[in-house]
Amino acid sequence: MTRTSKTKTALYFLAILVGSWSADAAEVTLRQQSHAKGSLVLLGDVADVTSGSAERIELLKRVELFPAPAQNRSKLMHVRELIELLVLHGIDIDDLAFSGTRTTRIYPAAPAPKVVTVGLQVPASETADMVVVTRRTLNRGDIIRDADVELQPRDPKNQSFQVATERHAVVGMELLYPIREGQTIILNQLRKPLMVKRGELIRVRARAAGVQVTTTAKAMEDGAMGDIIIVQSLENREQYATHVTGTQQVEVYAAGIVASDSASSSAHRNNQSTEKR
């Protein structure tokens, strides 16, 4: 087992064991599945926080973990990743006890219910729900621009799909399927543009104690801006969670442990090679 693996394993079990020994420990019980309540996933969205003082419980519930999944998508989070995120946010995990399931499936916030108010009689075209339709034919992989779409009254016969009703919800999104001119855009036809693709080599940046380290790793899954994805170190094939920050760029969540270790190992080998010469 590498030093990195030992460090992460020790961190995981230390959080569980030390937390269970403390009489005043707050208990974090991870749910099997959960829904974000806003644009950010909070600790209180994915786990029940009990014991300890009321002030401590409320503080923990409000810890921001990462951006909520996009509509029609979900994210699987392991308890180890949760612990790393809490450490990154400066939370003292020595007085936390973790229980419940080891992984949780996180879904986006449910759309707010529409409120219909009955008022003065107006033309049907002014009271009909508006939907987003295309102004030209768009192909798979196209990024939707504001000039590509417009709002039109919804066809009363077409009520079965979750269609886009606001322009800002589709502008900047990537199309998964081609759409003809004049068609209504359905939300499951869209996704956030991929910044990282599975299998490609990407830049990994880590910051720790005021030092920034950049290395290269292999992406193990696709990721859009703000997504958390798993990457694999080229040095020892260690896998760890990162946060997508740009095109082929990610940032390490766990205080740069793996990336810095990888860079240090590379520098050490270079020094040895220089000495032999």
Q: Which CATH number do you get for residue 246?
A: 2.30.30.760
The burial of 88, by beta-carbon neighbours within 10 Å (0-12 exposed, 13-18 middle, 19 or more buried), is given as middle
Residue 248's pLDDT is 93
Residue 216's pLDDT is 95
* Cα–Cα distance for residue pair 125/87, rounded to 1 Å: 54
Shared domain for 155 and 236, answered yes or no, is no
The answer to whether residue 143 sits within a structural domain is yes
Task: Output the domain CATH number for residue 159.
Answer: 3.90.1210.10
* Cα–Cα distance for residue pair 274/228, rounded to 1 Å: 38
Single residue among 82, 107, 132 that ends a domain in this structure: 107
Shared domain for 7 and 101, answered yes or no, is yes
- The DSSP code sequence of the chain is --HHHHHHHHHHHHHHHHHHH-TTPEEEEE-SEEE-SSSEEEHHHHEEEESS-HHHHHHHHT-EEEEPPPTT--EEEEHHHHHHHHHHTT--GGGEEEEE-SEEEEEPPPPPPP-----S---HHHHSPEEEEESS-B-TTPBPPGGGEEEEEPPTT--SS-B---GGGTTTPEESS-B-TTPBPBGGGEEPPEEE-TT-EEEEEEEETTEEEEEEEEESS-EETT-EEEEEETTT--EEEEEEEETTEEEESSTTHHHHHHHHHHHHHHHHHHHH-
Shared domain for 15 and 70, answered yes or no, is yes
Shared domain for 12 and 101, answered yes or no, is yes
The answer to whether residue 256 sits within a structural domain is yes
Partner residues linked to 196 by β-bridges = 223
Shared domain for 183 and 200, answered yes or no, is no
**Total domain count for the chain?**
3
Shared domain for 54 and 139, answered yes or no, is no
Residue 251's pLDDT is 92
Greatest CA span in the chain, whole angstroms?
A: 89
- Domain of residue 186, residue span: 124-191
The answer to whether residue 138 sits within a structural domain is yes
Partner residues linked to 202 by β-bridges = 217
Cα 72-187-152 angle, rounded to 5 deg: 155
Single residue among 107, 139, 157 that ends a domain in this structure: 107
pLDDT tens for 172-191 read: 999 998 999 998 898 888 98
Shared domain for 90 and 142, answered yes or no, is no
* Cα–Cα distance for residue pair 65/143, rounded to 1 Å: 28
Q: What are the residue ranges in the chain where pLDDT is below 50?
A: 10, 13-14, 16-23, 122, 124-125, 127, 254-277
The answer to whether residue 114 sits within a structural domain is no
Q: Which residue has the tokens 């009909």?
A: 128
Shared domain for 203 and 253, answered yes or no, is yes
Shared domain for 97 and 137, answered yes or no, is no
Shared domain for 10 and 100, answered yes or no, is yes
Residue 8's pLDDT is 53
